[in-house]
Amino acid sequence: MKSSKIFFLILIVPLAFITLNCNTKMENQSNSNILHSAFFKLKDSLSSTDKELFFTEINKLATIEGVIDFKVVNETSPKNHFTNGVTMEFADQKAYDSYNTNPQHQKFVQEIWLKMVEDFMEIDYVQENKN
């Protein structure tokens, strides 16, 4: 009987604690905004008119329902080859999914992004728990 109590204390209690801790982290992340960023380099062959069109069209993405805190940014560091970026937030996964399937976003990707962007890195993340 004593060995089963020791087994319980050594194995089961820590396992329960780890499980509860993981669930709490997942719950906290599910309540966090999704931060969506894409850093990119436009094709060198683009004319100034093409670049102007690109930035006019990318800024229209801010009008899509669910987009929060939309920003187009310029790279200031020589640590990578990307020249620009776009960042935005979404209240939850549903809003992010809706953005990705939105016809305006899809049209931008097909007609502008794929034709004018040479390289990019997309990063989507949630903020760590603020404990």
Q: What is the residue range of 76's domain?
A: 32-126
Same domain, 97 and 41: yes
pLDDT at res. 31: 64
**Alpha carbon 61 to its chain's center:** 15
Average pLDDT on 11-26 reads 44
pTM: 0.73
Decide which of 2 and 83 is more confident.
83
Same structural domain for residues 58 and 120? yes
- Please indicate, yes or no, whether residues 77 and 42 belong to a single structural domain of this protein: yes
Q: Does one domain contain both 75 and 55?
A: yes
d(CA 42, CA 35): 22
Q: What is the mean pLDDT of the chain?
A: 84
Mean pLDDT, residues 43-60 = 98
- Token pair of 87 as six digits: 């960042």
Question: In terms of domains, do 26 and 67 share one?
Answer: no
Under the banding of pLDDT at 50, 70 and 90, the label for residue 21 is very low
On whether both 36 and 92 belong to a single domain, the answer is yes
